[in-house]
Amino acid sequence: MKPVTYVALGDSLTQGVGDLVDGAWRGWAALLAAGLGTPQRPVEFHNLAASGAQTCDVHGHQMPRALALRPDIVSVVVGVNDTLRCTFDIGAVAGRLDEVYGAVTADGAVLLTACMPDPGAMLGLPGALGRPLARRQRAVNAVVHALSERYGAVHLHAAGEEWIADRTLWSADRLHPGERGHRVFAARCHALLAAEGLASGAGPGLDPERPPPTHAASLLWLATAGTGWVARRCTDLLPQLLSLAAEEVRHRVRGTSGGLDVRAAHAATAALAGLAGVERRVEAA
């Protein structure tokens, strides 16, 4: 019997950062893969995710490699890194995800997606800095929700308050899950797939095999490696983020902050409407 071919696309979350096993990243996708098959029908797992990947990387590099593997299941979890770049464009994000989702499902694979918490909340940024990032992540999540429904994806909602509030799910860097977080993420994906008859094996356990990092270790990481990690991810964003923060303060003083939320929501709606318009023109032709 042909193995179940599962291909994981995305960024450092799917790569497994935060869940170190024998000197290598494991992560939620590998934990999920172990529960997709049976001894009679094993799983062939390919993790193509890469740290720092944006939607353009998934679209341009990871997707073609995935399609060549003729997968049965493809997970696509990406978008947070897009929000951390000065080049952020929700229209471009929507267009790329639309093409990735469409290509995956056109070949008959099951599509697994997820929306994520905003990075500003995870890092505990002050309001003026955090709110612009929150709007960007809400826009990405709105696009992911809409396109997941359009393409019949199995979708995990991982943007709720419980994911942010439970710090035992997260590693020292506050942006990647720790082992427990990866296990919870994998278990919830497995439950969704099992409910659709798409996961035949047992789901991953929730109990970590290793103790979480101590508070001292977390502080040490944030003071050393964490500073460099944030700097590498946000170097090109920082000037723009400071400008966005200044705009945030001005609007709060005027009492017009709600307008920024409305503008961001309209941008996401326009991005999706543009995709729908393209579909209608193609059908008419």
Q: Please give the chain's pLDDT, 285 residues, in tens.
A: 789 999 999 999 999 998 989 889 999 999 999 999 988 889 999 999 999 899 999 999 999 999 999 999 999 999 999 998 888 999 999 999 999 999 999 989 999 999 999 888 877 777 777 888 889 999 999 999 999 999 999 999 999 878 878 878 888 777 789 999 999 999 999 999 999 999 999 999 998 887 666 666 656 655 655 556 555 655 666 667 777 777 777 767 777 777 778 888 999 999 999 996 544 333 332
Whole-number pLDDT of residue 67: 97
Distances (CA, A) of 48 to 11, 12, 16, 262: 9, 10, 11, 36
Task: With beta carbons less than 8 A apart as the criterion, state whether 66 and 7 touch.
Answer: yes
194: left (phi over 0), alpha (psi -120 to 50) or beta: alpha
Q: What is the DSSP letter of 58?
A: I
Give the pair of three-digit tokens for residue 107.
């070949």
Task: With beta carbons less than 8 A apart as the criterion, state whether 82 and 94 touch.
Answer: no
